[in-house]
Amino acid sequence: MSTSPIDLVRSYLTALERRDLARADAMLAPGFAMTFPGGKRFTTLEELVVWAKLRYRSARKDYERFDVVPSPDGGIVYCHGTLRGELADGTPYSGIRFIDRFTVAGGKLVDQQVWNDMAEVLGRLGTGG
């Protein structure tokens, strides 16, 4: 039995949070790309980790829901929730809204697009980000 698109996304996000990059990478289709706010684009998980280390000491997601738009080969999965953690300078943050959109095809993740309110919160904190 194949993994549902939502289960694949959940497994991927769990692996990333645990920094199990090998496990997360095994879920990615060739040509996978991630786009973050500000147009930051990454094609490897290692690139993402290097970028994130400059911004965060920790980052966790609290999930409110997962929605899927099915397709014959997979679907589009939307993940909604809030972010919490600590910025690189030690400033804590929480309650920051996010949406991740994943394209799933052939049992693999094709892309990830990320939207969040981090810039709004950083502006209020005066940290710039």
Q: What are 83-101's pLDDT values in tens digits?
A: 999 999 999 999 999 999 9
pLDDT beyond 70 at 125: no
Q: Is the pLDDT of residue 55 over 90?
A: no
- Which H or E run contains 46? helix 45-55
Note the pLDDT of residue 34.
Answer: 97
Q: Identify the pLDDT of residue 109.
A: 98
d(CA 39, CA 82): 20
* Predicted local distance difference test score (pLDDT) of residue 126: 62
Whether the per-residue pLDDT at 124 is higher than 80: the answer is no
- What's the rounded Cα separation, in Å, for the pair 29 and 66? 21
Residue 127 has a pLDDT of 56
Q: What confidence tens digit (pLDDT) does each residue in 11-41 have?
A: 999 999 998 999 999 999 999 999 999 899 9
Whole-angstrom distance, CA of residue 38 vs CA of residue 29:
24
